[in-house]
Amino acid sequence: MSMVKLHSVAMISACLLLFYPISVFAAGPGEAMPDISFTLLGIAVILIAAKISNLIERFGQPPIVGELLVGVLLGNLSFFGLHVFEDIRSDNIINFLGELGVIILLFQVGLESNIEKIRKVCLQSFVVAFLGVIIPFVLGTYVVGPWLLPDLSFNTYLFLGATLTATSVGITARVFKDLNKIHIPEAQIVLGAAVIDDVIGLIILAVVSTIATVGGVGLGLISWIAAKAILFLLGSIILGQVLAPKIGKLLSKINTGVGMKFTLAISFCLVFAFLAQKVGLTPIVGAFSAGLILDPVHFSYFKDPKIVRDIKEAINDYDHDSKEKILSVIAPHAKRHIEDLIAPIGLFLIPIFFVITGMNVKLETMFNLPILLVALGLTAAAFVGKIVSGLAVRKANKFLVGFGMVPRGEVGLIFAMTGKALNIIPDEVFSTIVIMVILTTLLTPPILTSLLKKQDKLELKNK
């Protein structure tokens, strides 16, 4: 038994899956137990598929590309009569775990981000966010809408324009994180702009919804919605800055330990995600803010006091100078940051989000030529609108910023779904929006990767 070797696990899992058809039809008297087995299997399948898909790194692509593609593959197997992945895709719990995954991702990105660096690029983020809203909105409402979809109402064009303003930062954040580029100015500009964009998007959605239903804008409601979101962002920063150190002392007296710090960090992230959703923002904006507020340097802990003790014991017979030297070498490594504790949660949950995102891509929607053509026009506008917004930045790679803003993801879908619910977006238009969202989401990671690699090469040359 002790000879069991590394990695042997996945294949055993695969072998055991052969038992599956037998056991499914032989459910015992355990029926009174809540049957969570399908969900357990679904998670395992997603995680294994995600890890296999990460082989794509060998072809120079970041893991996210593999996870999205394997998701698209699994999600469309129903086309060949295999429907089990449909059930995984629509499993409530798995979907929640995925959403928790992207919340953890943005929390990690927030922890890795430096608030001083974000402040430095703050103005640029504002410019990018505003241009990245105005240009796609104008393109959608006054150009692409009337041009590609004549005979529809102005309200529909309005929603189309609004949908094009969205930015879903999860995709871009993952690419930057995978390539260890969270710290570059371009990443910080995009992250800041995405947060601002979420606030603007919230306001736009409220405005166009009101115009479309009531016919005019109620300034009171709009300002209330904006005030809540801005209050949340400002409030979290002020609270973090003023109250945190004082209350921290109190709590440090209660309990210190790895478990305590971990729980506090995770709870902080969850509460901020909760509050963000409650003020109408996406939960990931809250998680990002939470990560930004928590200063990982102050949130570090000793990896394990035992290690330092062990090493001290082992070098006990060394002379004093050697001892001091060795200990000073080890000291910085004996510390571990809260990020190390969060990382496994990310390893567990983040792939679920991206595989499920891929699974939601229904390839059959693309088989209708007229719809596909309109969708391609919309996608072109979606790319152009955001790329142009990137041209405004200074002392940074304009295209990296522009493309970083391109993915529309779930935020774009929320706009479209609101429009559909209000009977303003007809079904065919909805399909074109879905295709646009898919294309901006799937095409951006490889583009960002190649831009980042080109930049690395240029820097090497300049050295």
Among 150, 254, 459, 462, binds a second copy (CB under 8 A): 254
The answer to whether 178 and 62 have CB atoms below 8 angstroms apart is yes
Pick between residue 16 and residue 373 the one whose CB is nearest to a second copy.
16
Q: Does 337 participate in binding a second copy (rule CB under 8 A)?
A: no
Q: Does 32 participate in binding a second copy (rule CB under 8 A)?
A: yes
Interacting span for a second copy (CB under 8 A) from 20-28, 78-86, 184-192, 369-377: 20-28
Mention every residue, 6+ apart, whose C-beta is less than 8 A from residue 394.
Answer: 124
Instruction: Calculate helix-pair angle for 283-293, 169-178, nearest 10 degrees.
Output: 40
Q: Which residues in 238-264 are b (16+ Cβ under 10 Å) and which e?
A: eebeeeeeeeeeeeeeeeeeeeebbeb
Among 59, 151, 215, 246, binds a second copy (CB under 8 A): 246
- Conformational region of residue 7, where left means phi above 0, alpha means psi within -120 to 50, and beta covers everything else: left
Pick between residue 104 and residue 393 the one whose CB is nearest to a second copy.
104
Residues 151 to 170 in contact with a second copy, rule: CB under 8 A: none
Question: Token pair 């969202």 is at which residue?
Answer: 437
Q: Please state the φ and ψ torsions of residue 331, each to the nearest 5 degrees.
A: -45, -55
The widest CA-to-CA distance across the chain, in whole angstroms, is 88
Determine the residue type at 422: L
Interacting span for a second copy (CB under 8 A) from 17-25, 71-79, 368-376, 442-450: 17-25
Tell me the HSE value of 94 on the side-chain side, using a 13 A CA sphere. 26
Q: How far is the CB of 414 from a second copy (least distance, A)?
A: 5
Mention every residue, 6+ apart, whose C-beta is less than 8 A from residue 452.
Answer: 175, 179, 181, 400
How many binding residues for a second copy (CB under 8 A)?
A: 135
Question: Token pair 């593999």 is at which residue?
Answer: 66
Q: Does 217 participate in binding a second copy (rule CB under 8 A)?
A: no
What's the CA gap between 42 and 80, in Å, rounded? 19
Pick between residue 167 and residue 389 the one whose CB is nearest to a second copy.
167
Pick between residue 352 and residue 400 the one whose CB is nearest to a second copy.
352
Q: How far is the CB of 318 from a second copy (least distance, A)?
A: 8
Q: Does 52 participate in binding a second copy (rule CB under 8 A)?
A: yes
Quick check: helix, strand or coil at residue 7?
A: coil
Q: How far is the CB of 363 from a second copy (least distance, A)?
A: 24
Among 128, 164, 202, 406, binds a second copy (CB under 8 A): 202
Q: Does 264 participate in binding a second copy (rule CB under 8 A)?
A: yes
Q: How far is the CB of 289 from a second copy (least distance, A)?
A: 11
Pick between residue 47 and residue 443 the one whose CB is nearest to a second copy.
47
Q: Does 421 participate in binding a second copy (rule CB under 8 A)?
A: yes
- The distance of Cα 438 from the centroid of its chain, to the nearest Å, equals 15
Q: Does 214 participate in binding a second copy (rule CB under 8 A)?
A: no
Residues 109 to 128 in contact with a second copy, rule: CB under 8 A: 115-116
Among 251, 373, 391, 458, binds a second copy (CB under 8 A): 251
